Structures are given as structure tokens and as C-alpha cells.
A and B are shown apart, each in its own frame.
Chain A
């Protein structure tokens, strides 16, 4: 039984057909790394899963139930799917713990003490217990992203979406964020991760999918897709990617 199902998903922006009938089934505990060229629709796919973008057609199924289009239902769904962004999107006018408590207080209507206790626990989990009172402006990129992860975890999501969580970070800060994601993986959490960190994808993902032309072009185990790709475009992508990372 899959926790998340996507069927016939399409999305276009103006003239651009970004997703063209994409199908995907995610089983509980799966960790799916999503690869694809820039502009291939990786972010659009993730954003359609929690309806931050409205798909044009197709269905998204969560726990066997098709998600409708009423705003109240979408709000419920977004609470069950955590999302972490490339640019963190922390709330700059709130402290680290304020950021983590915000969803609990405003959305879940937790009493303050309870929200605080949960938020402290989540901050400790990402190793930032001592930064609870800091504002985002006083945190490093890696710390910001870890707060953002704690903010998403506080809602106790059944599924996590990561959209290039380390792409905006200085290289020396990438490790601490990947370390946190790794811990979540070891806890058996279900996650979809868009990343250019091929090494991380290789070691942590249970499945790798390569997006092209608005559909899944190739998928399989990390070894199948990253080491022995069968499709020409996947090979070209991996080659250009390796070349790029050597230069970088």
C-alpha cells in the first residue's frame, strides 16, 4: 500500500508543459532522490504534491485517499507533508524556536507550553537547542536550514519533501544539513529529495528517479540509475554533472 500516489499529473506554465502525465507511487519508508536538468520540473513536481502549485490535471493520493481541491482539505494535506526549501524561507521576524512553534500555535492551536516543549525537542533533534532564542539573521546558512527542517518536523508530517536543501549553502555547511537528513532517513521516514548531491543520493536513497520531458525518464535503485544508467539522457546528465562538480 503506498503512502503517496501520483497519477497522470500535468502542469503547464503559459506555453511551457512542465509535467506531462507523471505517475509515481511512494511506499512508506521509501527515500526517493529526484534528479533532472535545471528547468525539468523537479520543484514543480514537489510543489504539486502538497498543492503549493495546483496541478492542471491528474490525481494525488495520500494514504489511499484522493486529495480534493477544496482549500480546507489542501490545508490539512500540507500539514501532513513537510516541505523544506532551497532558500530556507524562515520567518525573519521570529526566533528559531518561534519559527518552529509557529505552525503548532497558529495552525494546530497548541497551548504555548506544549508548543514550546515540542519545538525544543525538534530543535534539539537538529542540534540547535542552544540557538532557540536566535533570530535567523544571526544564524549560518546551515543552521537556518536545520531550523527549517525542525519547523517542518514539528508538524509531525507523514512524508517530507526536500527541494535542493543544500544548494544555497557554502560547501563547508552542506555536511551538517545532510547529516540531519541522514538521521531522518535512518529513522525510517518517507522522503522525496531533489538534490544534486549524487553521492548522498547514492548512499541514502532507496530509489532514484530521473525527470525529463515532464515524466519519469528513468528510475531504479541508486546503483541502477547512478552507476549503470540505461538511457542516453540519464548518462548525459550524469556526465555533465560530474564534469561540473569537478570544475566546481
Chain B
């Protein structure tokens, strides 16, 4: 029977805190980049101009159909061989995760925007609004409300994907867990602790999506 020894994990609190900070940093970065790029790509996917539609669709297909881990490794190891500059672990991981999240959230944005009654466009255009004004003032506020549960799910996925940054040795929680496990020969406790920390971060987020979904059902 294994004798549990969590003291050997908590002796490394500093390392865990550094890992948590790294996880939160990459999460925040990818959330902002991924969702804003996703909005732009999603708008492209609703466009009737093929100059916007086709590039946006190609982007979505490409990044939805390649693994994030492969992209991260590609940005970290392959890109610097093609271009004359180095790219750090954070940038490589953030690029991979953000582009993938942009592709998935683009489809959420597209679906949300297209779910709005075309009469809303009529109402907006009839009082002289241009495309941008109608989108910003009339369509997006309604679409965003419908999309909130799906977007919160995306945020949860991004949080979990942040662990992929450990593949390029970026200092985040999983990377720190690996480090603690290899220094103290306690993989069971180290990885258990990492899993629990993720659970503590994510559980409230997941509860929030349940809450949002329920409220949306009630409103509609």
C-alpha cells in the first residue's frame, strides 16, 4: 500500500505558486487573444463577400483539424528555423492555444450572430444604421447573451489547454508538478495535487456555466 506524503509537495509551495501564476497568465492571454480573434474570424464567416468568407473558413478548418500540441511544438521548434527570430515558450504556447480557441469560438460567434432574427437587421438599417453600428448596438448584444454558456465552456477548455505549454517547458502548474515529481520521487502526490488545484480553479467556472444556461432557458 502506498504511503501518501503530501508534505513533500507542499514543501514546494513557491514552485506551485509560480506555476499557478504562469497558468493564469497564459489563460488570460489566450482568453483575450483567442476570443477577440475568434470574433473577427466569426464575423468573416458571416460575410457575404468571398474575400472575407473564404480566408475565415480556411482558418477555421485548418486550426480545428490540427492538434494544439502539434501547433505549439511547431511554433517553438519549426518556426524559428524558417524565420530569423527566436520564439519563447510562452509565445509559442499562447499562439497555439489562441489560434485553436479562435477557430472554435469563431463558430460560436458565427452561430450566435446568425441565430438573431433578420428582422433585427431590418429594424436597425431602417433607422439608418450602417453594418458596424447594427452589429455593435443591436446584433452582438443579443447574440452575446445567447452565446455566454458556450463561450464560458471555451474559457474552461482554454484553462485546461494551458497545461500543453509544459511541452515547451513553460512554467505553469503541470510543468511545476513534473519538476516536483522528478526532484522528490513523488509523482502520485505531485500529480494528484496538480489535479486538485485545477479542480479548485475550474469548479466555480463550470458552476457558472450551469447557472448561465439555466438563466438563459428561463429568459427564453
Contact = CB atoms under 8 A, between A and B. Distances in A.
Interface in B123-166: 123-130, 133, 137-138, 141-142, 145
Q: Looking at chain B, what size class is its interface with the partner chain?
A: 10 to 19
Nearest to B127: A103
Given A102-B137, A106-B137, A89 B119 contact: yes
Contacts of B182: none
B122 interface: yes
Interface in A131-152: 148, 151-152
Interface stretch (A70-78, A208-216, A240-248): A70-78
A89 B129 contact: no
Nearest to B141: A93
B114 interface: no
Contact of A103 (B128, B130, B142): B128
B86 interface: no
Interface string A33-51: 0000000000000000010
A185 B142 CA distance: 35
A103 B138 CA distance: 11
A138 B117 CA distance: 19
A78 B127 contact: yes
A106 B122 contact: no
Q: Looking at chain A, what size class is its interface with the partner chain?
A: 20 to 34
Contacts of B126: 50, 52, 78, 82-83, 85, 89, 152
A79 interface: yes
Contacts of B130: 71, 75
Interface in A63-96: 71, 75-76, 78-79, 82-83, 85, 87-93
A155 interface: yes
22 contacts: A52-B125, A75-B128, A76-B128, A78-B126, A78-B127, A79-B128, A82-B126, A83-B126, A87-B119, A89-B117, A89-B122, A89-B126, A90-B123, A91-B120, A93-B141, A93-B142, A102-B127, A103-B128, A103-B129, A106-B133, A106-B137, A152-B126
Given A78-B125, A83-B122, A106-B137, 6 more contacts: A78-B126, A83-B126, A90-B123, A102-B127, A106-B133, A151-B127
Interface of A: 50, 52, 71, 75-76, 78-79, 82-83, 85, 87-93, 102-103, 106-107, 148, 151-152, 155
